[in-house]
Chains A and B, each alone.
Chain A
Amino acid sequence: KNQVEQSPQSLIILEGKNCTLQCNYTVSPFSNLRWYKQDTGRGPVSLTIMTFSENTKSNGRYTATLDADTKQSSLHITASQLSDSASYICVVSGPQPNFGNEKLTFGTGTRLTIIP
């Protein structure tokens, strides 16, 4: 069964510190992996999308890494800000044989809280 597991479930860090969120998946075959940021009461917003051939991708202070061999990804946040407080969702995509499009498997997210 395709699964995406994220850790930790929740994390509290001081403003200005760095942190790393983890995502392990069993989706096969694998097409791409996405990280989304979801603020409370709002829809998810895409941070990065990586294919199996990419091992790192940055978006400002967010850097995602991917190891397709071990089926692990991480999202590193540098110099955290109060606005980084949100849920971070890892989504893994695999091709759908019947429709030719992609099937998404979602992790349950990491709830990050930045305190001043």
Chain B
Amino acid sequence: AQSVAQPEDQVNVAEGNPLTVKCTYSVSGNPYLFWYVQYPNRGLQFLLKYITGDNLVKGSYGFEAEFNKSQTSFHLKKPSALVSDSALYFCAVRDIGDFNKFYFGSGTKLNVKP
């Protein structure tokens, strides 16, 4: 079955420290992986995606994500967190083996404390 798992409902990190938001996936074909961010009372905003090529993908606002095929993971990272990064983060996978359907994770709330 196709799925995306975000094992942590919430991640707390101090400003200036590195952050990681975890995502694992399960698809029948090659994965196309995405990260989105949602600020309060706003829509989801695209951050970055992995299609093919380099396993380390760089995106908006200093975020990056590392694709690991053997661990079926696509963790979101940032070297130095900002208070303004506090938001809800969604991982998504598009499964070409399932009619290109998008599957979204349940979301991880990131809290960055000053």
A-B complex is real? no
